[in-house]
């Protein structure tokens, strides 16, 4: 049973109730249709957030020195698996930065700080991810469930280091490439909901890899790469969520947006290199 709105599930009529696999809310080839009264899936932040939304995005295209920056009008509570703004923090800016395939730094944190200062971006209040994957392969999906709950997901995929959890990976043959995921939530989360959301993000990423049939040389399906990273952030306003599992409104929104964005980014990556290597 669900005792609070944050634990409600999404059904086709927009009412709370148990999720059933045969509800078929979204099919693998769909990037639009979704639970009409409970949410709408968007392919651009402007459409999903609306004019005057709290979040804005900026893409700087400079080859291997490109970056993607999200800026919030108010501080966000963030949880980052990477070094730059690691763990829980307060962040006004979320960055995904592309670096050279030969990137090396004795002190990665200080190197990033120097880069931010060079770009005129404040170090304090910036949480960032780093990748050698091509940012041109990034994808966005947003799902607005209500005026008090929306989820925005950005994914960049590089698959040269694809691996499977529990399977030995040959680190002597690592190549630049990772799956970076940024999720911004218009809503209020407990700390446990943040951690729960990381699980949901990871499951959605693995589902996308499975459905895109990304395989290892052994024939096993990849669940990720050796250097994947996740950055979550929430406005801490609006609908309160103490859980973010697959049957909750928040978990459903996270799962759908990450899954769809990951599939598109993986597809763009594959199209650019002509094969999933």
Share of the chain above pLDDT 70, in %: 83
User: Which two structure tokens, joined as six digits, stand for 197?
Assistant: 């959301």
pLDDT digits (tens, 9 = 90+) for 130-172: 999 999 999 999 999 999 999 999 999 999 889 999 998 876 5
Nearest to 236 by CA among 74, 95, 5: 74
The alpha carbon dihedral of 9, 13, 15, 19 has a sign of: negative
Query: Which domains are assigned to the chain?
Result: 50-275 (3.60.70)
Instruction: Please identify which residue in the block is written with the tokens 């670096």.
Output: 99
Asked whether the predicted pLDDT for residue 277 surpasses 70, the reply is: no
pLDDT digits (tens, 9 = 90+) for 87-124: 999 999 999 999 988 888 999 999 999 999 999 999 99
Mean pLDDT within 47-71? 93
Q: Any idea what DSSP says for residue 132?
A: S
User: Which two structure tokens, joined as six digits, stand for 8?
Assistant: 């409600």
Strands 139-146 and 67-80: unpaired
User: What are the φ and ψ backbone dihedral angles of 53, each rounded to 5 degrees?
Assistant: -65, 165
Helix (H, G, I), strand (E, B) or coil at 171: helix
pLDDT of residue 258: 99
User: Which two structure tokens, joined as six digits, stand for 244?
Assistant: 């973010």
Helix (H, G, I), strand (E, B) or coil at 78: strand
User: What are the φ and ψ backbone dihedral angles of 210, each rounded to 5 degrees?
Assistant: -65, -50
Please give the model's pTM, rounded to 2 decimal places: 0.84
Report the C-alpha gap between 64 and 220 in whole angstroms: 31
Residues 6+ apart with CB under 8 A from 236: 76, 77, 188, 189
Q: Any idea what DSSP says for residue 245?
A: S
């Amino acid at each position: 049973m669900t005792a609070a709105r944050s634990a409600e599930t999404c059904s086709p009529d927009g009412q709370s109730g148990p999720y059933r696999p045969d509800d078929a809310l979204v099919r693998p080839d769909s990037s639009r249709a979704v639970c009409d009264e409970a949410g709408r899936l968007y392919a651009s932040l402007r459409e999903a957030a609306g004019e005057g939304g709290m979040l804005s995005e900026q893409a700087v295209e400079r080859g291997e020195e490109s970056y993607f920056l999200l800026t919030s009008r108010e501080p966000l509570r963030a949880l980052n698996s990477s070094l730059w703004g690691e763990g829980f923090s307060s962040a006004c800016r979320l960055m995904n930065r592309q670096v050279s395939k030969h990137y090396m730094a004795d002190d990665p944190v200080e190197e990033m700080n120097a880069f931010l200062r060079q770009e005129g971006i404040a170090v304090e209040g910036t949480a960032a991810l780093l990748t050698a994957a091509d940012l041109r392969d990034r994808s966005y999906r947003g799902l607005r469930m209500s005026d008090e709950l929306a989820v925005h997901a950005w994914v960049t995929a590089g698959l040269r280091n694809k691996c499977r959890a529990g399977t030995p990976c040959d680190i002597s043959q690592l190549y630049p490439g990772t799956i970076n995921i940024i999720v911004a939530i218009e809503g209020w989360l407990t700390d446990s909901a943040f951690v729960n959301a990381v699980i949901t993000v990871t499951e959605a990423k693995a589902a996308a890899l499975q459905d895109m049939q990304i395989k290892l040389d052994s024939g096993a399906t990849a669940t990720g790469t050796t250097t994947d990273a996740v950055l979550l952030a929430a406005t801490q306003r609006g609908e309160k969520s103490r859980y973010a599992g697959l049957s909750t409104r928040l978990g459903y929104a996270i799962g759908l947006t990450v899954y769809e964005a990951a599939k598109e980014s993986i597809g763009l990556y594959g199209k650019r290199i002509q094969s999933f290597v």
